[in-house]
Amino acid sequence: MTSTNNEYLHRQLIRLGDMLGDGDCDPWVGREYRRVATALGVMPRRKRTNNIKFINEAMATTLATTRCPSCNGQLKQTRSGSMRGQCLACNKKYQFKSVKVK
């Protein structure tokens, strides 16, 4: 990043921090503050959770018992880590709801 861009981001970070400190701000201010702080390297980047193994196991058990509603065909997971199944007979796609783990 250039120094002028860096200076602009620092000024913006201070302005957004003041708005958060006062408490009279909209919900977008927190998101913007996090984005600017991450761009400056002040806050670490959030790591995405990796639930692919759990999703694949849950989809395998669900697809073993579920059939296509329209043609009663067998369903197959479209791609690893997705909650979407596709009928092998009629090629219709179905979205399965995610299960929240507590």
pLDDT of residue 90: 93
What is this structure's pTM? 0.54
pLDDT of residue 56: 92
Q: Are 75 and 85 in contact (CB under 8 A)?
A: yes
For residue 8 the two structure tokens come to 């602009």
Per-residue pLDDT tens over the stretch 5-64: 889 999 999 899 898 888 877 888 888 999 999 999 888 887 888 889 998 999 999 999
pLDDT of residue 101: 62
> Is residue 71 pLDDT above 70, yes or no?
yes
